[in-house]
């Protein structure tokens, strides 16, 4: 895959370059500022971009803003956002256009190479990859019908929100896919969400409802 990396800390940027290159991917640009990121995204239109939220010149949410602007020009441009802290607002803004191909991970996850590369590849394929900590905080907020879910349904919902397929959920929870389908149906019923065959739209709908 062709990858754009945006990270202002040189050591971490170089580390991401090495990690993704070792994973068989091609780095088409590695930048350190928001404006450079936007230019790189529009010029290269990569298979996926790995982007730090806080970058120069403002050191606030420059990376996220450049990403959102680029996705307006290139709908569905796959982007995996990295952040040092859980920022629910960032997750919501990233998901707002409903275009798919988005991810939000805490930077610590980069040190788990397998998990990080899996998230990159899932986002590049048009899926969703949300950090388990972000999902946990969204679900803990409740107030959107989640209090009516059983413990098992809450587990299934959390894995759905991470972008897992029914097969992957079944494997993780050591249950059958048929059981996952049943739990999923119950979740949609309790949250007043219509079922959908589109896994990505299903995840986005669940997250939008939880974060309403």
**What is the side-by-side order of every strand in the sheet holding 79-83?**
26-31, 2-6, 48-52, 79-83, 102-106, 128-130
pLDDT band at 52 (very low <50, low <70, confident <90, very high): very high
Q: CA Rg, the chain, in Å? A: 17
Omega before residue 57 within 30° of 0, cis: yes
Provide CATH 1.10.10.10 ranges for the chain. Answer: 135-210
Question: pTM above 0.95?
Answer: no
Decide if pLDDT at 19 tops 90. yes
Selecting from 3.10.180.10, 3.20.20.70, 1.10.10.10, 3.40.50.280, what CATH number does the domain 135-210 have? 1.10.10.10
Top mean pLDDT of 19-33, 125-139, 179-193, 194-208 is at 19-33
Provide CATH 3.40.50.2300 ranges for the chain. Answer: 2-130
Residues 6+ apart with CB under 8 A from 156: 169, 173, 180, 183, 184, 187
Judged by DSSP in three states, 171 sits in: helix
| CATH node for 2-130 | 3.40.50.2300
Question: Per-residue pLDDT tens for 149-203?
Answer: 899 988 888 887 777 788 989 999 999 999 998 998 888 788 776 655 556 556 6
Q: How far apart are CA 206 and CA 212, in angstroms?
A: 10
């Amino acid at each position: 895959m062709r990858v754009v990396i945006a990270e202002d800390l040189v050591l971490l940027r170089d580390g991401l370059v090495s990690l993704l290159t070792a994973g068989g991917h091609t780095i088409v640009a590695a930048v350190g500022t928001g404006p450079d990121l936007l230019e790189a995204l529009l010029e290269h239109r990569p298979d996926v971009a790995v982007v730090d939220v806080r970058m120069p010149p403002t050191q606030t949410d420059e990376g996220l803003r450049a990403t959102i602007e680029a996705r307006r020009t290139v709908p569905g441009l796959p982007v995996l956002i990295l952040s040092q802290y859980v920022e629910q607002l960032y997750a919501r803004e990233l998901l707002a256009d409903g275009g798919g191909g988005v991810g939000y991970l805490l930077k610590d996850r980069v040190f788990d190479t397998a998990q990080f590369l899996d998230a990159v590849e899932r986002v590049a394929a048009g899926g969703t990859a949300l950090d388990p900590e972000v999902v946990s905080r969204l679900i803990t907020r409740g107030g959107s019908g989640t209090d009516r879910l059983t413990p098992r349904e809450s587990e299934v919902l959390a894995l759905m929100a991470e972008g897992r397929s029914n097969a992957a959920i079944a494997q993780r929870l050591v249950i059958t896919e048929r059981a996952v389908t049943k739990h999923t149906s119950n979740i949609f019923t309790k949250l007043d969400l219509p079922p959908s065959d589109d896994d990505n739209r299903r995840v986005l709908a669940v997250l939008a409802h939880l974060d309403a």
